[in-house]
Amino acid sequence: MNAEPRVWSQLPPELAERIVSFMDRNEVATNFRLFNKAAAAQFRGPQYTTIRLSQPVPPHTFAAKWGALFGGSTRGLTLKRRQQLVCLVAASGVVPNLEVAQRASRTVQRYETFVAAAAAGQLESCKWLRIRNFPISAIDLDSSGLLGAAARGGHQHVCAWLLRAHPRIGPWASRGEAEAARGGHVRLMDWLLARRRPVDPAEGSAYRRGRRDGALPAAPVASLTGPEAAELITAAAHGCGLPTLQRLWTAYARHLRHDVDGQAAALAGLGVLAHQRGDKEEVLAAAAGSPTPDWAAKMEWLEAQGCPRGRGAVAEAAAGSGPDAAARLAWLLGRGGYGVDHRAVVAAARGGNVEALQLLLGLVLPPRPPALLQPRDSIIWAASDQAAQGGHLEALRLLHGAGWLPEVRVCYQTAAREGHLHILAWMVQALGVALDADLFKAGAASGSVEVMAWLAERGCAWDQLAWNAAAEAGCEEALEWLAERGCPMPDNGYPYRVAAIQHDDLNTMKVLSRLGVPWGNLPREFPRMVDTEPMDVLLNMLDAECPVALPDLRHAERRAQARLRRGDNSCMELLTAIAMAMPEGEEEEEEEEEEQQEEWEEGDGGEGEEWEDGEEEEGEEGEEGDEGEGDEAGEEGDGWENARGAAEIIVEEEIDGQEGL
């Protein structure tokens, strides 16, 4: 009988496993398993075959999957997952892979990519992104969260680079001390505090008294505003140990020491005191949800400092704390004085914590019947919606059995939108969900061909709005599936509006154009859009071959030239694109017309802008599609098996940049 083949003939299999345990997991998956058949056979478990994109991947392997020769690799990915692909690779720190990923994703440069690199401490990625002018702040904010992202990750070298080399990136959304504390990085927190203004005398004296008593270690004491101090102490209660919390409390707690009943203070007009009461409750809640092993000791100490036990915020934090949420809730209830309400149920449902849910559902009264629900009961609806959104089927079953599923329609649309087919199947079978066009639209918003095919096989109705939802999801395969199955196309051009104006998604626009989706009134509106829309939107429309008629192209050109004369140089690229979009031979004719127009203007002596649109704005805005994209589904895949497997690998990694650190 032949012995099993070995990776190394001289070494037993267990020694080979020992050697591999010291190797990088991505190296094992992409290189070592290819060493010989024995290596592939022995190391075939998911821990050896899953490629994690947030960790370094050999550039030749990455390029073989995502490079130019394999441009179709992202066809099965939604816009959100294409964006996430770039964020994950930025977090890996392999710059050659980042260049490939940005091209392969066919997405615009995004601030979230920079956040992911900073949060992972990848300085080389940050430098590459800065050189290529990636956004340094969110589009709707005038301050940058990059320093906070680096601080929460504990990366002092990135913080130093941001502060030293690029002072123009500010103003900062945060100076970083609280984020460092929230991440448990005490040294970095102290380093950032030391860069602050001179020590406030009152705070310094309080701290020095603590030092004389021997209760506190040496550390800088910076001058903070009231909100900054409250944020710092709350962050420390969450991420730091008890000694650090005590030190910061001694230094800065004068901002929190007003022990006034919050409701009474509000009624008396003492808004500041009520807010400070709320600060103390938030500090206690942060300790209740803390990932540190001394969370209970921190809570006991904070109670002794006068932090109020509260009516529900503390229990809510404990319910969402993680696997030991039920034990924390039991500990709170055993101490007495802690209120438990619907917020805790929602938090447990969000995390899919069945044990905590079972405990809470026995304490909190079920919601009213659907006919009696009021707007203030929105928190009740949120529990089942959060469970459906997270794909937590067992939690959803518990909520349904306890009467916490008041509106099935909202819940099954959420499940469809997030692409959770297992929840959708349960709801159709157990609850008799109607297979109507609204449900199909929600499924299309997930960008999942599997969900849409499942619904179609069961006779689910569809209509033109499915295209709007699929365009918002931005998955090429999903759009092609709709076209191949004959889903009716809208004629108002709204899918292009979604892709162009809402998401700046050129790839989806090109797919829609290739599939023959009508542009609606957008070609006629193009001249007006020169004055109302960002240049990228107009450039994308021309790049996607929007059929703008020659007179409208000329009209748009004149408007762009008028903007250029007013000093708006952003129109230069648009003028070039318009010239390229004009039929051959038309440019000479246009030049002659311009010369005639200039002569007319000189003779007329008129003032103002001679070329007015004169047209009424037209075009339907259309019905907005549902937002569509799930958070993380995550299955383990075997290397680069296929695009869908790659997507599952992508979503296995959690990106904190979405929180706007």
Per residue in 72-94, pLDDT (tens digit) is 688 999 999 999 999 999 999 99
User: For the segment 213-269, what is each residue's pLDDT rounded down to a tens digit?
Assistant: 444 444 556 678 888 999 999 999 999 999 999 999 999 988 774 444 444 443 333
Mean pLDDT to the nearest integer, 6-24: 78
Place of tokens 């979009």: 581
Count H helices and E strands in the chain, helices first: 39, 0
455 near 439, Cβ under 8 Å? yes
179 near 202, Cβ under 8 Å? no
| pLDDT score at 587 | 52
What is the pLDDT of the chain when averaged over all its residues? 81
Does 395 score more than 60 pLDDT?
yes
The rounded distance, in Å, linking the Cα atoms of 200 and 221 is 8
Of 41 and 58, more confident: 58
Does 176 score more than 90 pLDDT?
yes
Q: What are phi and psi of 172, to 5 degrees?
A: -85, 140
Question: What percent of the chain has pLDDT above 90?
Answer: 54
Mean pLDDT to the nearest integer, 174-202: 85
Task: Identify the three-state secondary structure at position 144.
Answer: strand
**Of 190-199, 403-412, 505-514, which has the strongest mean pLDDT?**
505-514
The rounded distance, in Å, linking the Cα atoms of 406 and 380 is 8
Distances in whole angstroms, Cα of residue 359 to Cα of each of 57, 197, 295, 329, 353: 44, 48, 20, 8, 10
Least confident of 298-302, 319-323, 478-482, 603-607: 603-607
| pLDDT score at 645 | 37
The amino acid occupying position 155 is H
Does 648 score more than 50 pLDDT?
no
136 near 109, Cβ under 8 Å? no
Does 630 score more than 50 pLDDT?
no
Question: What percent of the chain has pLDDT above 70?
Answer: 76
237 near 287, Cβ under 8 Å? yes
**Cα-based torsion angle of the residue sequence 481, 78, 647, 291 in order, rounded to the nearest 10 degrees:** -140
Mean pLDDT to the nearest integer, 32-36: 75
| Residue positions counted in the chain | 661
User: For the segment 500-544, what is each residue's pLDDT rounded down to a tens digit?
Assistant: 988 999 999 999 999 999 999 999 999 999 999 989 899 999 999
Contacts of 480 (CB under 8 A, 6+ apart): 511, 515
The DSSP call for residue 321 is S
| pLDDT score at 43 | 77
Encoded tokens for 415: 């499940």
* Distance between start and end Cα atoms, the chain: 60
Residue 582 exposed, middle or buried by CB count within 10 Å (0-12, 13-18, 19+):
middle
Greatest CA separation for the chain: 104
| pLDDT score at 374 | 53
The rounded distance, in Å, linking the Cα atoms of 445 and 447 is 5
| pLDDT score at 17 | 76
451 near 477, Cβ under 8 Å? no
| pLDDT score at 323 | 94
Say what the pTM is: 0.79
Does 618 score more than 80 pLDDT?
no
Least confident of 290-294, 312-316, 622-626: 622-626
Of 638 and 348, more confident: 348
| pLDDT score at 41 | 79
Q: How does residue 69 score in pLDDT terms, banded at 50, 70 and 90?
A: low
Q: How does residue 423 score in pLDDT terms, banded at 50, 70 and 90?
A: very high
**Cα-based torsion angle of the residue sequence 70, 72, 74, 75 in order, rounded to the nearest 10 degrees:** -170
Mean pLDDT to the nearest integer, 393-410: 85
| pLDDT score at 590 | 54
Q: Can you spell out the DSSP letters for 164-203? A: HH-GGG-SBS--SHHHHHHTT-HHHHHHHHHTSSSPPHHH
List the one residue out of 407, 397, 284 whose CA is nearest residue 349. Answer: 397
Does 344 score more than 60 pLDDT?
yes
Radius of gyration of the chain (CA): 29
DSSP H or E segment with residue 456:
helix 449-457
Exposure string (b/e) for 121-137, b if CB count within 10 Å is 16 or more?
A: bbbebbebbbeeebbbb
Of 569 and 28, more confident: 569
Least confident of 81-90, 127-136, 167-176, 369-378: 369-378
The rounded distance, in Å, linking the Cα atoms of 234 and 220 is 18
Encoded tokens for 111: 């601030």
Least confident of 7-16, 312-321, 461-470: 7-16
User: For the segment 563-602, what is each residue's pLDDT rounded down to a tens digit?
Assistant: 999 998 889 999 999 999 988 765 555 555 555 554 544 4
The DSSP call for residue 292 is S
**Of 25-29, 77-81, 642-646, which has the strongest mean pLDDT?**
77-81
| pLDDT score at 160 | 95
| pLDDT score at 430 | 87
